[in-house]
Chain A
Amino acid sequence: MNEREQAMSAQVLEFLAHAQALETESGERYRELSETLEIHNNPEAAALFQKLAHYGESRAEEVVQQTGGMALPELPPWECQWLSAEGPHRCMEEAHYLMTPYQALRLVLRNESCSCNLYRRSLRDAVDLGVKKIASEMIREKEKHLEWLYSCIEREAETHHPPQEDLDPPNAPE
């Protein structure tokens, strides 16, 4: 066992497994929204979610790189310790085919704030110093991402208008 592996306790690996599940889920959810919004002819929101999906996927890869080749414990989805039953991503039901980039960013902000709170909980509750160190790094990264989201929201707010009325809405009852 090398020095890195010795330093990587079971708690650290479990924390990284959670982080990987969270970021993977994030990438997949945003990718799914991007594809759906593209199908529903909303290229602006689709492009935004595509960018965010890429961010989630990159973060998941970075988490794996931190293990230095060690296998992460396999966590069944129902054993992950999220903040609520909804899992790491909330309010996905608020997505709408007419949503503007501003509305999309607000939804993402709620999700990413939730992810950041998960890392903060780990930092607060962990006894293992290795977990505390990695959780602090994750929080710093998430806070940078949140700052970027806030700046995007501010920029979008200047030109934001509620979605135009759909003259042929899909939910017109027949």
Chain B
Amino acid sequence: MSTAQDRKNLKPKDYKSEIKPIWCPGCGHFSVLSAITKALAHLGLAKEQVALISGIGCSSRIPAYVDTYGFHGVHGRALAVASGLKAARPDLTVLTAGGDGDGFSIGGNHFLHACRRNMDLTYIAMDNEVYGMTKGQASPTTAPDWSHSKLTPHGTGIRRFQPAAIALASGASFIARGFSGDPSGLARLVVEAIQHPGFSFVHVLSPCPTFRPEQRAWKQQVHPCDLETTDNPIDAAHAIQSDDGRSLGIFYIESLPVWRSEKAAQRSLSRIEQEFLV
């Protein structure tokens, strides 16, 4: 168990594991990894008190690269696994990370209910508007006219999934958007998301230089959100709906009841271990 002094001395690189990322050079996910480790170091969290849970996809490799507890889980089920962990171990800081396909398509239903349940989780969705690991298919956040995949040669023709709007409608109590090209600003969002009691959703624009090289232009397109952070869902809805998808900042923070497992307090770790023995 680390002492408070040990934790104070931890630097961002101390939260990186020995495993080297195999993301493509230039991938936005490197900056997200950097932002997470900076946030953990800033908060001085003990490594053994943090768990990072992911699904499947390029971005979901991230637990391997962070030197905390982690679970590279089941496609689309990162939030389900994270919710289970938080219910059983409310003392842990539980972070969830993944991509747009994992979180909004395969895991779309879990996303809605995680927002609604408002457990004390932080969800970092790394959105590059493409399925990168399976070599470049349209994802739920891809523009309807993106025609670079052989599966959708004329585009999907389907409106984009709107993560921030859907998070708000589903009951998330913290909604923010960051950009991997602004790693310091992103680190701040992750810190605030972790500190927020309840479900925190951080939507990260994280370009894929391999399948979406045009996303390098995001750097010129992002801008701070025009409106100040609000706790009024109507104002937040207006800000999010009138947004061009490139505004950055915290859209919405509200203090809502946090769901906790009533039984968690009665259960010791040894009891949980006994229950799982076959």
Question: A: which residues have CB within 8 A of B?
Answer: 28, 32-33, 35-37, 39-40, 76-78, 80, 82, 85-87, 92-97, 99, 170-174
Contact = CB atoms under 8 A, between A and B. Distances in A.
Interface of B is mostly: loop
B184 A78 contact: yes
B187 A174 contact: no
Nearest to A172: B135
A78 B210 CA distance: 29
Contacts of B38: 77
B21 A78 contact: no
Contact of B26 (A78, A82, A96, A171): A96
Contacts of A173: 135-137, 148-150, 211
Given A39-B22, A97-B24, A76 B181 contact: no
A90 B112 CA distance: 36
Give the interface centre of A36, A39, A85, A93 by most chain B CB atoms within 10 Å: A93
Contacts, number: 85
Nearest to A169: B210
Please give me the 6 A-B residue pairs with the lowest Cβ-Cβ distance, nearest first: A95-B25, A77-B184, A78-B188, A95-B26, A85-B182, A78-B184
Contacts of B25: 33, 36-37, 40, 95-97, 99
Contacts of B20: 35-36, 39
Contacts of B42: 76-77
Interface of A is mostly: loop
Given A171-B210, A173-B150, A92 B185 contact: no
Nearest to A84: B182
B57 to A, nearest CB: 15
Interface string B172-198: 000000000111110110010000000
A32 B137 CA distance: 27
Given A92-B30, A93-B216, A173-B148, A28 B13 contact: yes
21 contacts: A28-B13, A28-B34, A36-B20, A39-B20, A40-B24, A76-B187, A78-B187, A78-B188, A86-B181, A86-B182, A92-B26, A93-B219, A95-B26, A95-B209, A97-B25, A170-B135, A171-B211, A173-B135, A173-B148, A174-B136, A174-B150
B69 interface: no
Nearest to A173: B136
B188 A76 contact: yes
Interface residues of B, number: 35
B207 interface: yes
B135 A94 contact: no
Given A28-B34, A170-B24, 14 more contacts: A33-B25, A35-B21, A36-B24, A76-B188, A77-B42, A85-B185, A86-B219, A87-B182, A87-B183, A95-B26, A170-B135, A171-B135, A173-B136, A174-B150
Contact of A93 (B21, B136, B181, B184): B181
Nearest to A38: B20
A78 B22 CA distance: 27
B28 interface: yes
Contacts of A78: 184-185, 187-188
A85 B149 CA distance: 32
B29 to A, nearest CB: 11
B161 interface: no
Nearest to A35: B20
Contacts of B22: 36, 39
B22 to A, nearest CB: 5
B209 A96 contact: yes
Nearest to A77: B184
A36 B20 CA distance: 7
Given A77-B184, A85-B181, A93 B24 contact: no
